[in-house]
Amino acid sequence: MAVSDHVDLPTFMEGVKKRNPHQPEFCQAVQEVAEDIFDFMADKVQYHEQQILRRIAEPDRVVSFRVCWEDDNGNIRVQRGWRVQNNNAIGPYKGGIRFHPSVNESVLKFLAFEQTFKNALTGLPMGGGKGGSNFNPKGKSVREIMRFCQSFMTELYRHIGADVDVPAGDIGVGGREIGYMFGQYKRITNQFTGVLTGKGLEWGGSLIRTEATGYGAVYFLANMLAHKGDDLVGKTAVISGSGNVATHAAEKIVQMGGKVLTLSDSGGFIHDPDGISQDKINWVKEHKTHRRGRIEEYVAEFKGATFHEGKTPWGVPCDVALPCATQNELLGDDARLLVKNGCIAVSEGANMPTDLDGVHVFKDAKILYAPGKASNAGGVAVSGLEMSQNSERRAWKEDELQQMLKDIMMGIHNSCLTYGDNGKGYVDYVKGANIAGFKKVADAMLAFGVV
Ligand code: NDP
Ligand code: 2IT
């Protein structure tokens, strides 16, 4: 079949939207990738003939299940759980689990789709998946969270395995939740395997997995700046979120000589013109993770800081910005404001935090803009290294792992250059990441035939 017989981008997207009604996040993620892949495929007949993009944009399977649990007052509560196994062309499905009331099939399908390209970019053998539940951990007791995790795993266990699908954490799922889920998996199956990553160090976890996503996002940012002969020393940074990714991104910015001005949560953002130092970051980590506090309480603790209720931090003038909270938290107007205020680089710690309008603003302004699938891949990369350590039944040293994370982030940066450097001083990192991630998965799929 000739290339010209094939559908164009608008017709392809019309089909995606028709087949996935009421799934705006999923359609958005596919559109963002398809915009680059259609150009790349224009002269590559096999990808068209074999319908590769159409196949990657149809998950291998979506498992949806009921999760019942009993709250502390003896009420029976019913939640919905999912695992989306998007593509396993280059390795077992791999991707986090999210517990948040906003979780639905569209959100998890977009995350599993993005994960497929991200995991390919790491260079490690991992396919793409994602799971989660609309369970809201906020305000729940530790016992309630444990019972929920156990019930969630009571169904999930039959769909996963160390060589099948290896979940990890994401929003609302950290070391504690992974512990409860791993405990239940072990109890049901009587097997101690590397079925989850993000485990505790005493029971098969890897050093630096906790820090890896945030650190990796800053390494990627530093790589982009270095490519322009610049660095982070003295640069001001605006960061959203105050969870795992945001706090570790902040920590690495400080370590590399930058000054962090903001952090946020779903209640609003704090602005600290004196800079959020390591001591202050330690306080935030303790406050958000162990005390389950709100970011607004920062201003009572640290003089000179202000809280901005219900607002995102993108109006604070800065050199670099790191959205590290959630999807679609940085809209077109926010992007225009950042560019107008002189922001020179954006590195996404979150998945798809910038909406399509914002992506186009950054691309048109030709600033350094790294999409999450490239810049936040450090977390899943160290998850991949955790899987290797589990298979080897060994634990590698911290300095080895730190170096591997740096090397992997540098490797992803180089892959982006291969397909995104226009040769005239501008690197389109979105295009570079999309094409490099796609090509690896696509070529594996070609090898397997029509399956
Ligand atoms: P956490 O649960 O540790 O923290 C999430 C943070 O984002 C909190 O500050 C939370 O605020 C805020 N947030 C969550 N949802 C919303 C919302 N709807 N509106 C505003 N703020 C919100 O999650 P992580 O730090 O692990 O994840 C953050 C992002 O990074 C997500 O996009 C995730 O997919 C991505 N990511 C995570 C990786 C990891 O290894 N953990 C790896 C790669 C990407 P509040 O406390 O008010 O809810
Ligand atoms: O979005 C992500 O890459 C993650 N939440 C981490 C996934 C993983 O398997 O470590």
| Domain end call among 330, 354, 370 | 370
Q: What is the pLDDT of residue 6?
A: 73
CA of 126 to the centre of ligand 2 (A): 11
| Domain end call among 134, 163, 192 | 192
User: Same domain, yes or no, for 44 and 91?
Assistant: no
User: Same domain, yes or no, for 217 and 364?
Assistant: yes
Q: What is the pLDDT of residue 256?
A: 98
CATH number at residue 263: 3.40.50.720
CA separation (Å) from 380 to 81, 103, 151, 413?
A: 22, 20, 25, 16
Q: What is the pLDDT of residue 290?
A: 80
User: Same domain, yes or no, for 219 and 158?
Assistant: no
In a domain, 69, yes or no: yes
**Atom 35 in ligand 1: which residue has the minimum CA distance?**
350
In a domain, 222, yes or no: yes
User: Same domain, yes or no, for 162 and 292?
Assistant: no
On whether the pTM is more than 0.75, the answer is yes
Contacts 24+ apart (CB under 8 A), 143-146: 143/72, 144/69, 144/71, 144/72, 145/176, 145/177, 145/180, 146/180
User: Same domain, yes or no, for 24 and 122?
Assistant: no
From the list 94, 118, 130, 439, the catalytic residue is 130
In a domain, 137, yes or no: yes
Q: Which of 380, 388, 390 to mutate to test the pocket of ligand 2 (most atoms within 8 A of CB)?
A: 380
pLDDT average per 10 residues of sequence, the chain (451 residues): 67 98 98 97 94 97 98 98 98 98 98 99 98 97 98 98 98 98 98 98 98 98 98 98 98 98 98 98 93 94 98 98 98 98 98 98 98 98 98 98 98 98 97 98 97 91
User: Same domain, yes or no, for 281 and 145?
Assistant: no
Specify whether 130 is catalytic.
Answer: yes
Structural domain of residue 21, as residue ranges? 3-56
CA of 10 to the centre of ligand 1 (A): 32
Whether 209 contacts 198, CB under 8 Å: yes
Cα–chain center distance at 299: 29
User: Same domain, yes or no, for 289 and 158?
Assistant: no
In a domain, 407, yes or no: no
CA of 132 to the centre of ligand 1 (A): 13
> CB under 8 Å to 187, separation ≥6 — which residues?
none
User: Same domain, yes or no, for 124 and 10?
Assistant: no
The tokens describing 170, both together, are 């994401």
Query: Domain count of the chain?
Result: 3
User: Same domain, yes or no, for 153 and 116?
Assistant: yes
| Domain end call among 370, 393, 413 | 370
CATH number at residue 162: 3.40.50.10860
User: Same domain, yes or no, for 93 and 40?
Assistant: no
In a domain, 434, yes or no: no
User: Same domain, yes or no, for 123 and 161?
Assistant: yes
In a domain, 10, yes or no: yes
User: Same domain, yes or no, for 250 and 326?
Assistant: yes
